[in-house]
A and B are shown apart, each in its own frame.
Chain A
Amino acid sequence: EIVMTQSPATLSVSPGERATLSCRASESVSSNLAWYQQKPGQAPRLLIYRASSRATGIPARFSGSGSGTDFTLTISSLQSEDFAVYYCQQFNNWTTFGQGTKLEMK
């Protein structure tokens, strides 16, 4: 099983600032990586797929990068609605999720 490790577990950032979330795979997943946002009491929402493609309706302030084992989700200028938990997911070999990064307001 491919293990996905996200860091940090919690990230405190002020509105308007940039947030950078990391995800590392225990072996190469090529570009078969997705990012999801989950708010309390809601289902996850797809943000990024194939490492860098934005899903339908996702604002341009969300961007993804990386390939192989190291990936990054960047939110360029945080809005109040962006504070949530973010999960990465590999789908190169079946599918596994990271443990999540909680993005909280500083």
Chain B
Amino acid sequence: QVQLVDSGGGVVQPGRSLRLSCAASGFTFSTYDMHWVRQAPGKGLEWVAIIWYDASNKYYADSVKGRFTISRDNSKGILYLQINSLRAEDTAMYYCARGSGRQSYGDFFDYWGQGALVTVSS
């Protein structure tokens, strides 16, 4: 069965960096676009980034552009999110999510990881 396992969260000081990982199994990872979606405590969902199935394109929400980098290793079935220059407003649960198809500019998410909590605090 499809499984996405998020890891790498923690408590980080403002200005520092963190890398989140999402290990995928149960499907052909290299044939799906993948996304990161975040949720601040008690708030709604915010799309963060997408990487196409072959890593040929990456797109980001304006709120994270220039500080976040999405990447993937199709040989290992792992999705990454590198977060630099962390700010208090980046405090959130970060979910990886599978897009329904390929080469999309907007998509729905049929499977989600359990989330990795990032807390930015001094």
Which residues of A does B touch, CB under 8 Å? 32, 34, 36, 42-46, 49-50, 55-56, 87, 89-100
Contacts and interface: CB of A to CB of B under 8 A. Distances in A.
Interface of B: 44-47, 59, 95, 100, 104-115
Contacts of B111: 46
A44 B104 CA distance: 21
A40 to B, nearest CB: 11
Contacts of A90: 106
B47 A49 contact: no
Chain A, interface SS category: loop
Nearest to B45: A97
20 contacts: A34-B109, A43-B112, A43-B113, A43-B114, A44-B95, A44-B112, A49-B100, A50-B108, A55-B110, A56-B110, A87-B45, A89-B45, A89-B109, A93-B106, A94-B105, A95-B106, A97-B44, A97-B46, A98-B44, A100-B44
A2 to B, nearest CB: 9
Contacts of B46: 97
A68 B59 CA distance: 25
A99 B110 contact: no
A34 B108 contact: yes
A49 B108 CA distance: 7
